[in-house]
């Protein structure tokens, strides 16, 4: 398979270029960054996009126009944005996978957090990242919060208890009724804690990515799978057999 990488000079893109170059059966045909002509990518079977939330939609429109499959790790995807991606690829002959996180541990963390969500009255999320990250909350935290909120609604749980009436901003972001707190700290890479509480007990699910190598098996699995996954696929749980 011929693979092009968008965002190739970035922290993730550079790691993906290395992983693709070393992978059996994959060939890196284009490594492109901001402002570069996309023409060299036109021969690719799959584009991998790790760019920035402001650029990714235009990149995906180009992929759809050229009938090239896309694997997207760039974050900032709301449900509305995902609907727009689905529409872009209709009739294009190409498929697209969008995943806020490609690491096995993060996928298991989200899966188990969704399972736990129905059993706890309280839940909050703390995501901790390097200070060069541009988006907050992280894509992983926003995805986790939405999945927890859906599981709570499904279980008939009401809003999480919170008596706060005076807030100077200390209660974090509200994602579908779930509070998400973002920490940006030099020395950290990517961590997340999902904290559950009931009267008299608590449960914390923690995931740590120590290096960007943690994402590469998932990215390569998505590259290999995208041609056989029609339309838009959100997350790679189905590809890795998580939750099935
Ligand atoms: N799904 C997952 O598992 C993971 C997702 N991410 C996400 O991946 C994204 C990238 O993260 P990271 O690598 O740390 O960020 P970086 O800022 O290091 O890399 C982004 C790169 O994309 C380039 N770029 C900007 N616009 C375009 C464009 N139109 N076409 C091609 N390249 C472009 C940037 O260039 P310039 O700097 O010149 O603008 C930069 O080199 C983020 O959204 C992050 O949250 C990160 C880790 C894992
Ligand atoms: O920007 C990052 O570094 C990361 N971004 C993704 C996110 O926003 O969830 C995945 C991981 O947390 C690293």
Judging by beta carbons within 10 Å of its beta carbon (0-12, 13-18, 19+), is residue 61 exposed, middle or buried? Answer: middle
Task: State percent of the chain over pLDDT 70.
Answer: 100
pLDDT averaged over every residue in the chain: 97
Out of 5, 12, 240, give the residue to mutate to test ligand 1, the one with the largest number of ligand atoms within 8 Å of its CB.
12
Judging by beta carbons within 10 Å of its beta carbon (0-12, 13-18, 19+), is residue 116 exposed, middle or buried? Answer: middle
Does position 68 have pLDDT exceeding 80, yes or no?
Answer: yes
Out of 75, 127, 147, 209, give the residue to mutate to test ligand 2, the one with the largest number of ligand atoms within 8 Å of its CB.
75
Mean pLDDT, residues 39-56 taken together: 97
Of all atoms in ligand 1, which is nearest to the CA of residue 135?
Answer: 45
From the CA of 50, how far away is ligand 1's center (Å)? Answer: 4
Give the closest ligand to the alpha carbon of residue 183. 2
Instruction: Tell me what pLDDT residue 203 has.
Output: 98
Which residue's C-alpha comes closest to atom 41 of ligand 1?
Answer: 10
Instruction: Tell me what pLDDT residue 244 has.
Output: 73
Ligand 2 touching residue 191 (CB < 6 A): no
Active site residues: 129, 133
Instruction: Tell me what pLDDT residue 240 has.
Output: 96
Mean pLDDT, residues 63-84 taken together: 97
Question: Does a cis peptide bond (omega within 30 degrees of 0) precede residue 137?
Answer: yes
Rounded distance between C-alpha atoms, residue 49 and residue 43, angstroms: 16
Task: Output the pTM of the full model.
Answer: 0.97
Closest CA to 6 of 122, 42, 121: 42
With tokens 């060069």, the residue in question is 132
- What's the complex ipTM? 0.99
With tokens 């057999």, the residue in question is 241
pLDDT digits (tens, 9 = 90+) for 81-114: 999 999 999 999 999 999 999 999 999 999 999 9
Instruction: Tell me what pLDDT residue 194 has.
Output: 98
DSSP state of 105: H
Of all atoms in ligand 1, which is nearest to the CA of residue 133?
Answer: 14
| Start-to-end Cα distance in the chain | 28
Task: State percent of the chain over pLDDT 90.
Answer: 99
- Determine if residue 102 is labeled as part of a ligand binding site: yes
Which residue's C-alpha comes closest to atom 9 of ligand 1?
Answer: 74
CB 163, CB 97: distance < 8 Å: no
Of all atoms in ligand 2, which is nearest to the CA of residue 142?
Answer: 9
- Determine if residue 12 is labeled as part of a ligand binding site: yes
In the chain, which residue ranges form alpha helices assigned H by DSSP?
A: 11-22, 53-65, 79-89, 104-117, 139-154, 216-225, 237-240
pLDDT digits (tens, 9 = 90+) for 174-218: 999 999 999 999 999 999 999 999 999 999 999 999 999 999 999
């Amino acid at each position: 398979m011929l693979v092009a990488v968008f965002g190739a000079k970035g922290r993730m893109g550079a790691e993906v270029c290395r992983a693709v170059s070393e992978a059996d059966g994959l060939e890196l045909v284009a490594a492109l960054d901001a402002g570069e002509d996309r023409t060299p990518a036109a021969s690719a079977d799959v584009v991998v996009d790790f760019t920035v939330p402001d650029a990714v939609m235009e990149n995906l429109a180009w992929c759809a126009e050229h009938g090239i499959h896309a694997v997207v790790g760039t974050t900032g995807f709301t449900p509305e944005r995902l609907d727009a991606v689905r529409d872009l690829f209709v009739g294009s002959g190409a498929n697209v996978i969008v995943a806020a996180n490609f690491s096995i541990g993060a996928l298991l963390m989200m899966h188990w957090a969704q399972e736990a969500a129905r059993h706890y009255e309280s839940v909050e999320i703390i995501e901790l990242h390097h200070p060069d990250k541009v988006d907050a909350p992280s894509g992983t935290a926003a995805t986790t919060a939405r999945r927890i909120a859906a599981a709570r609604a499904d279980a008939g749980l009401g809003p999480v208890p919170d008596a706060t009436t005076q807030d100077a901003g200390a209660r974090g972001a509200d994602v579908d009724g779930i509070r998400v707190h973002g920490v940006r700290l030099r020395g950290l890479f990517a961590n997340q804690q999902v904290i559950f509480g009931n009267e008299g007990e608590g449960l914390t699910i923690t995931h740590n990515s120590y290096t960007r190598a943690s994402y590469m098996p998932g990215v390569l699995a998505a590259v290999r799978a995208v041609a056989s996954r029609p339309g838009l696929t959100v997350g790679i749980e189905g590809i890795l057999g998580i939750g099935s």
